[in-house]
Amino acid sequence: MWTKEYLRKVVQEQMADYLLVAVSNRQPFSHVPQSGKLVARRQPGGVVTALMPVMEAVHGKWIAVGSSMQDRRVLDEHGKIQLPAENPSYELRRLFLSKEEMDAYYYGYCNEGLWPLSHVAYTRPVFRVADWQAYEKVNQRFAEAILEEVGDKKAFVWVQDFHLIHVAKYLKQANQSNIITALFWHIPWPNAEVFSICPQKKEILEGMLAYDLLGFQIRNHCENFMATVDKELESRIDRENTSVFYQNKETLVRPFPISVDFQAISGDASSDAVKTLTAQIRDDYSLNGKKLLVSVDRIDYTKGIPDKLRAIDHFLKQYPEYASKSTFKKVLD
C-alpha cells in the first residue's frame, strides 16, 4: 500500500540523485490578506490534492502560475517561496501571466477547446489560432523556468495535465540529456474519432510523444491514446509493452489510478476540531437523528450537477419516508 512514508523511501532509494520538479497550471497555495497579514490558503481541485502529499514527501520543487499581487509580495528575489508555511518541505516558484495570456491559453484553448473535447461533452469545442499561439507561448515559458531551476542537475520533471502538453518538446529542444520527463493526464482521453476534429491534433500528439512517460487514470484512456496515435501519426505501437515509437524515440504509456493521502484525511476527520465542527453543524441545521448527504462540486457541465439533483428527487419520490430522516446539502465552487 502506498503511503507518504513508503513513497519517501522509494524516492530516496531509486531517485536519490534526481531533483523532482512538479509542474502544473494551478498552484498548491495562494496568498490572501487575513487579519492584517498575508496567509497561505490551500487551493481546491484534484491535481493539488493528489500532488501535495508527494511534494511534501520528496522535498522537490513546484512550478505553477501565481494569481494575484499578494502572491507576488511573499516571494523572494528569485520568485520562490517555501511551503507549506507551518512545515516547509518543498519550494514553489510562481510564474505570472498577463490577462491576455490567461484568456487565450487557459480560458480559451484549455477550457473551451481541450476540456470539452477530452470529456466528450455535448458542448462544442472551440479552437482559435490565437488561443493556440498563446498556449505554445505559455508552455515555452514553463520550459524556460524548468531549465533555470534544473541547470546541469539530474532531474525528473513531472508535468501535470492538458495545460502543459508542449513543455517536454521545448525541454528536448534545449538538448538537456540530464532531464527525464513525464506527463500525467488527469482527465479522460477521447477515442480517436473524437480527437480527430482537433485542428492541432498532430502538434498535440507530437508534443505528448516528446515525454519519456505518459500516465493516464485508467487503461482504457491509454488504449484510446495509442489508437489515436496509430490513426494520426506514422508510428509503431508496442501494445505488449504499452509504448509508442515515434521519430526514433520510445514513450512509455501507463495507467496510474490516482489517489489521495488517506492517512492525513482520516487523521483530520477524527481530530477534535472536526468533531467539534461536526457537532456545531448538526446543531445549526437541526440534524440530530438525520443522515447528512453532502455533494461538493465545481460549477462545470461535466460534473453532472442537474443529474445529481434529479437523482435525489427521484430517490425521495421512490422512498418518501427518507425525506424526514435525511438532509441533502450541495456545495458549489
Query: Considering the entire predicted model, what is its pTM?
Result: 0.87
Grid cell for residue 67: 494569481
Q: What is the pLDDT of residues 186-233, one digit of tens each?
A: 999 999 999 999 999 999 999 999 999 999 999 999 999 999 999 999
On the CB side of 270, how many CA atoms lie within 13 Å of its CA?
6
Q: What is the DSSP string of 149-204?
A: HHTTS-EEEEEESGGGTTHHHHHHHTT-TTEEEEEEE-S----HHHHTT-TTHHHH
Q: What is the pLDDT of residues 304-319, one digit of tens each?
A: 888 888 998 999 999 9
Q: What is the pLDDT of residues 269-306, one digit of tens each?
A: 889 999 999 888 888 878 878 888 888 887 887 788 88
Angle at 285 between CA 329 and CA 326, to 5 degrees: 55
What pLDDT sits at residue 148? Answer: 96
The overall average pLDDT reported for the chain is 91
Please state, in angstroms and rounded to a whole number, the distance separating the CA atoms of residues 127 and 28: 29
Please state, in angstroms and rounded to a whole number, the distance separating the CA atoms of residues 158 and 167: 10
Report helix, strand or coil for 90. Answer: strand
Q: What is the pLDDT of residues 107-155, one digit of tens each?
A: 999 999 999 999 998 889 999 999 999 999 999 999 999 999 999 999 9
What pLDDT sits at residue 28? Answer: 94
118 membership: H or E segment, kind and range: helix 115-119
CA-atom Rg of the chain in angstroms: 22
314 membership: H or E segment, kind and range: helix 305-318
What pLDDT sits at residue 65? Answer: 97
Report whether 56 contacts 264 (CB < 8 A).
no
Q: What is the pLDDT of residues 151-184, one digit of tens each?
A: 999 999 999 999 999 999 999 999 888 999 999 9
